[in-house]
Amino acid sequence: MIQTDSTQVDSLIQQRGNPPADLGAIYEPPAVSFSFDTIGWTVLGGALMLGLLILLFFLIRRYQHNQYRREAMAALQSIASNEQEFSQVFILLKRVAIRTFGREKVGALYGASWLGFLDKTGKGVGLLRYEKQIESLIYQDKVPDPEVRRNILSQAHKWIKTHAG
């Protein structure tokens, strides 16, 4: 067992010879300088700029790709304000679907299969439940009551906004 009292330390000093010298203040190295002049900052800046340019490219491309949606929404607003042109909603939906999915896939659809296609390709769209009112609108030119009309416009709006394509 080692004792650390002062007599033992004094005896160790005497055995070794010289007492420890006063070392003075602790030496500290100079502070490391910081600057943006190193190559790492240039590479990081370049990578960030490249990333921003790529992001901007994809945002512009998506904006241009969705131009047809904005035009369809404007046309839908115009149709909604004119009660006599209400049947044009389905012509507009057909045009948008043909542009998105192609004439071969959409052109021959009508009736329940057409409404089912709209329900399937849009998120949360439920036009098939208004099948009877839509058929009377298209084939007999009967304008549905305001509640059904508002629901059909809402579903058409939802489909234009959310269809996968």
Q: What is the pLDDT of residues 78-132, one digit of tens each?
A: 888 877 778 888 889 999 999 999 999 988 888 889 899 999 998 988 888 888 8
Burial 57-75 (b: 16+ CB within 10 A, else e): eeeeeeeeeeeebeebbeb
Is 134 buried (19+), middle (13-18) or exposed (0-12) by CB count in 10 A? buried
| Number of Cα atoms under 13 Å in the Cβ half of residue 22 | 2
């939802």: which residue's tokens? 158
Task: Please report the pLDDT score of residue 36 as a whole number.
Answer: 81
Give the C-alpha separation, 65 to 135, whole Å.
32
Find the range with the poorest average confidence among 16-20, 39-43, 73-77, 137-141.
16-20
